[in-house]
């Protein structure tokens, strides 16, 4: 089963921007993480020279940034005969250490900035019977990032995510 951050509907860039203040990154580290994510999304082979040129810094700075991000546990670097691959999946795995609210109802009330109605609470309870809590939370966060405060929209995200998984 795919992790929540591997789901088709999950936007990694939005999440990185949403969590930026919680990730303990300086501006150069954040820029490198975003650049790596972009290159991975566009399936562009990553090289030190490409990273250096895109960020307009020296090679030593790229090496240092990669080392710092690896030590923070955000990067995984794999080397093979064709070059190297950088994964930022560990960045998303650290999320639970950042600020994951345990009560999903409180989270919805916080994000919607109002108390939930009883029908909304029932709907969340129904979702909890069909989906993992993490999946619901990330559907909520995706909707909030798009500034759409709608249970119907969140439901469509959840349903589309399940349909996409069934097709694979």
Distances (CA, A) of 94 to 5, 8, 76, 111: 11, 20, 13, 21
Q: What class has domain 101-167?
A: mainly alpha
Domain boundaries, the chain: 12-93, 101-167
45-61 pLDDT, tens digit per residue, is 999 999 999 999 999 99
Q: What class has domain 12-93?
A: mainly alpha
Q: Measuring CA to CA, which residue among 84, 2, 22 is closest to residue 49? A: 84
70-121 pLDDT, tens digit per residue, is 988 899 888 777 778 999 998 887 654 444 445 788 889 888 888 888 888 8
Token pair 């108390």: residue:
115
Task: Count CB-CB contacts under 10 A for residue 117.
Answer: 10
Backbone phi, then psi, for 165, in 5-degree steps? Answer: -65, -40
Bridge partners (DSSP) of residue 76 are: 87
Q: Coil, helix or strand for 75?
A: coil
């Amino acid at each position: 089963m795919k992790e929540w951050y591997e789901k088709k509907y999950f936007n990694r860039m939005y999440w990185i921007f949403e969590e930026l203040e919680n990730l303990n990154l300086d501006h150069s580290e954040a820029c490198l993480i975003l650049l790596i994510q972009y290159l991975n999304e566009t399936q562009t082979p990553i090289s030190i020279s490409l990273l250096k040129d895109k960020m307009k810094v020296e090679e030593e700075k790229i090496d240092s940034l990669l080392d710092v991000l690896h030590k923070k546990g955000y990067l995984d670097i794999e080397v093979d005969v064709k070059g190297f691959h950088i994964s930022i999946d560990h960045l998303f795995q650290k999320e639970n250490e950042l600020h994951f609210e345990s009560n999903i109802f409180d989270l919805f009330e916080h994000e919607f900035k109002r108390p939930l109605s009883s029908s909304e609470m029932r709907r969340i309870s129904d979702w909890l019977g069909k989906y993992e809590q993490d999946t619901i939370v990330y559907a909520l966060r995706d909707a909030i990032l798009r500034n759409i405060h709608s249970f119907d929209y969140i439901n469509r995200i959840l349903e589309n995510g399940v349909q996409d998984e069934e097709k694979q």
